[in-house]
Amino acid sequence: MKDLLLRFQRGEITLSQLKEDFYPQLNEIRRPNRPAPDVVMYSYRASEHNHINSHEIKRLDHSISSLRNFNSDIKVYLFCDDLNIIPDHFQYEYSVNVRPFVRSYDPNMLNAWSIHRWYNMEYFENRNFNILYIDSDTIFYDDVKYLFHTYSTHDVYGKEERGFRHCPIAGSAKDIRFNLDLVDACIYAEHGRTHVYKYCIGALLFNNNIHQKIIDRLDQLTTIMEKLKTNQMLNPIPNPRILDQYAIWIILSRARASCGLFGVQDVTHSYLEQKHKEYFNPILLHYTTRDEQEFAKSDKRFNNLIRDVDELGIQIDPHSMV
């Protein structure tokens, strides 16, 4: 690498020639001896409302097609409990591995509409992978492999949930530090072992086979959700919509996962973070349900995501619009 940079500094090669060898060499430095393959994972539980399913398919189509615009090789998995709603072209055009749900779980448990992602991770049990889990409300603007190459040191990478300590989007004037420290205290009190970031789980990268430790603790996850439902466990989270996130923070802490954050430059959460208002150039955008309509109106490519959220809001998200 040093020789390459010196040659460029001395004017012996052009910028375009530098770039030809720059990333292959840098990626070797960032990811030495990384034989585990990289995969992208989606998970969707079908709704009882057809218009919700139709909208979700549009989201998935935008997300997966944008990924394939920059990378045609990486394996993509989509788990769904109703395979009949998944269009055929997801498999033959986008080369998506469409799979049924892996493990049954209580459909009436807290956050059942989203918690399935963790149980479906069991598909990768005893298999070495680096897994990027993403929700459907995501768009790629560059090659997904950049994230795997750049964020490879820690076991887990993500963005903090809205309003938490490292979230650049929203703050609070209400005794905020105590409330955030209370979450940490409850995680440790519930047998957490290490510090974890309070991740939004709409975009998470799992390295170093940390998914195996999550799979090993799926029964613990079930127990946590049952205890939260019956008020038998410490619960510092006022928003019931993210209780499954709180549960996975506990699981990651118990597993002693090393945790890192995606840089705002590369993964942006909501629409639109300040950094990207002047130059919008992330690798991945997680625009969120909350900001979807503003995002959908920003580019005609995504106009088919425009919908009447006032009329349909309770069906779109009966808990909140996050």
Whether residue 233 sits in one domain with residue 86:
yes
* CB burial string 54-66: b at 16+ within 10 A, e below: ebbbbbbbbbbbb
Q: Are residues 262 and 186 in the same domain?
A: yes
Parallel, antiparallel or unpaired: strands 259-261 and 96-99? unpaired
Q: What is the CATH number of the domain that holds 249?
A: 3.90.550.10
The fraction of the chain above a pLDDT of 90, given in percent, is: 84
Residues 233 and 102 in one domain: yes
How many structural domains does the chain have? Answer: 2
Interacting residues of 43 by C-beta distance below 8 A, sequence separation 6+: 78, 79, 80, 116, 117, 120, 133
Label residues 32-42 b or e (16+ Cβ within 10 Å = b): eebebebbbbb
pLDDT for position 108:
84
Residues 142-158 pLDDT 10s = 999 999 999 999 999 99
Q: What is the DSSP letter of 61?
A: H
The HSE-up count of residue 268 (CA atoms within 13 Å, CB side) is 22
Segments forming the whole domain that contains residue 2: 1-30
Q: Has residue 135 been placed in a domain?
A: yes
Chain-wide mean pLDDT for the chain?
Answer: 93
Same domain, yes or no: 291 and 241: yes
Q: Are residues 96 and 218 in the same domain?
A: yes
154 and 283 assigned to the same domain: yes
Question: Is residue 52 one of the residues assigned to a domain?
Answer: yes
Is there a single domain that holds both residue 79 and residue 174?
A: yes
Q: Are residues 1 and 131 in the same domain?
A: no
Indicate whether 134 belongs to any domain.
yes
Mean pLDDT of the region 106-135: 93
The answer to whether residue 93 sits within a structural domain is yes
Q: Are residues 123 and 3 in the same domain?
A: no
* 229 and 132 fall within a common domain: yes
Asked, for residue 322, whether it belongs to a domain, the answer is no
Residue 140 Cα distances to 5, 74, 107, 203, 267, angstroms: 30, 14, 31, 12, 9
Q: Is residue 300 part of a domain?
A: yes
Mark whether 214 and 257 lie in a shared domain.
Answer: yes
* Confidence band, pLDDT 50/70/90 cuts, at residue 308: confident
Is the domain of 163 the same as that of 248? yes
Q: What is the per-residue pLDDT across 201-225, written as a single tens digit (0 to 9) for each? A: 999 999 999 999 999 999 999 999 9
79 strand-pairing partners: 43, 99
